[in-house]
Structure 1
Amino acid sequence: MMGRLFVVVGPSGAGKDTLLAGAVAAEPRLNWARRVITRPSSAGGEPFEGVDETEFAARLARGEFALHWQAHGLHYGVPSVELAPLAQGRDVVVNGSRAALAEVKVAFPDLIVLHITAPLEVLADRLAARGRETHADIAARLARAAQALPEGLPVLEVINDATPEIGIARLLQALRG
């Protein structure tokens, strides 16, 4: 039995990393695919491998990525080895990008989109609390929050507008549903 591939998308500040970490800790059959990103590993957030653009391009040329895309001026890749648990019957979650969903659907027609979101005022408060972005950056991220998902994809919606524990429970319910 093949595992299921879940591509997690949602606006900045929705709490994707927090909910994914909690869900993976609670559900041993769930594998969180570690991405390769062209930013320093010290940048924080999810567990990822930070590389420079030259290293990313070399790995892309060698065909190491099952998925790759560009967003926010960065390159993102999911190494093929990170999706190997699918063949072992384990579910895999990938922190993805709305803009790359159509491409991912071509490579993985059975993917399920997990859309994690929150009301705009909650997103704004969380982004401000991170202290990493200017007011203009936050405004731009909030404007992108309303971006529609591509048509024709199976989407599970998870509203993360309460405590992390409630959000994790909602995510686990969606994954099990």
Structure 2
Amino acid sequence: MTLVAVVGPSGAGKDAVIDGARRHFAADPRVIFPQRVITRPAGPGEEHRPATEDEFAARERAGGFAVHWDAHGLRYGIPAAVAGAVREGAVAVVNVSRGVIAALPEVFGDVRVVRISVPEDVRRSRILARGREGTADARARLERPDPAPEAGVDLEIVNDGPLPDAVASLVRFLEGIGR
């Protein structure tokens, strides 16, 4: 049915908003929240499928990704099975780089883009507080330019208030897909 591509800068709270929506739709098999494969060890933050560089490259060569990209010195991939689930009627919600948005319709058909944003001061404090990156990596994330500034969005969520408000916005949007 639809891929919902959630985009936004590091520190905007994409993972927290997606996790809240995941909990809301836990009993609804129509809405899925596939884990990305990332060349980062398991740890705090987003639940993902960790992979070494070699494992990622092997999976890429074998056609194991519907789409993949590089950012922040890491490799990210959406498993190929997600495209099949979307073709079979699922609404899949995935955190992606804006740099791959143009490629998504060819793979998934119907794509909706949700951008999550936050004021820069809040974003800076979140990135520094999460402790997932060293100082240099945190600085690089804060200074990274938007990879696709011209990409349109279907929903903008400004995540600067209570998290349940941002989650409710995403939930309402997902409930409206396919009506």
> What TM-score results when the alignment is normalised by the length of structure 1?
0.86
Q: Which residue of the partner structure matches residue 15 of structure 1?
A: 13
Secondary structure of the structure 2 residue equivalent to 1:43: coil
Secondary structure of the structure 2 residue equivalent to 1:122: helix
Q: Which residue of the partner structure matches residue 128 of structure 2?
A: 128
Q: Which residue of the partner structure matches residue 73 of structure 1?
A: 73
In the alignment, structure 2 segments of 5+ residues that lack a partner are none
Q: How does 1:126-165 map to 2 (within 5 A)?
A: 126-144=126-144, 147=146, 149-151=148-150, 153-165=152-164
Aligned residues: 173
What are the superposed Cα offsets for residues 48-73 of structure 1, whole Å, 9 maximum, x if unpaired?
Answer: 11111111111111111111111111
Q: Does 1:56 align with 2:28?
A: no
Q: How does 1:99-114 map to 2 (within 5 A)?
A: 99-114=99-114
Q: Which residue of the partner structure matches residue 171 of structure 2?
A: 172
**In structure 2, what is the Cα distance between the partners aligned to 1:24 and 1:133?**
25
Whether contact under 8 Å (1:14, 1:116) holds in the other structure is yes
**Higher deviation after alignment, 148-157 or 104-113:** 148-157
Secondary structure of the structure 1 residue equivalent to 2:32: strand
Alignment CA distance shift 1:123-1:56 (3 Å):
same
**In structure 2, what is the Cα distance between the partners aligned to 1:110 and 1:164?**
28
**Higher deviation after alignment, 150-159 or 31-40:** 150-159
Alignment CA distance shift 1:60-1:82 (3 Å):
same
**In structure 1, what is the Cα distance between the partners aligned to 2:45 and 2:151?**
30
**In structure 1, what is the Cα distance between the partners aligned to 2:153 and 2:96?**
15
Q: Does 1:24 align with 2:17?
A: no
The offset of 1:124, in angstroms, is 1.2
Divergent runs of 4+, >4 A: none
Secondary structure of the structure 2 residue equivalent to 1:24: helix
Secondary structure of the structure 1 residue equivalent to 2:160: coil
**In structure 2, what is the Cα distance between the partners aligned to 1:175 and 1:151?**
23
What are the superposed Cα offsets for residues 2-50 of structure 1, whole Å, 9 maximum, x if unpaired?
Answer: x21111111111111111111011122321111111111x233222111
**Higher deviation after alignment, 45-54 or 125-134:** 125-134
**In structure 2, what is the Cα distance between the partners aligned to 1:23 and 1:159?**
16
Secondary structure of the structure 2 residue equivalent to 1:82: helix
Q: Which residue of the partner structure matches residue 90 of structure 1?
A: 90
The offset of 1:147, in angstroms, is 2.0
**In structure 1, what is the Cα distance between the partners aligned to 2:10 and 2:158?**
13
**In structure 2, what is the Cα distance between the partners aligned to 1:136 and 1:38?**
18
Secondary structure of the structure 1 residue equivalent to 2:18: helix
The offset of 1:134, in angstroms, is 4.5
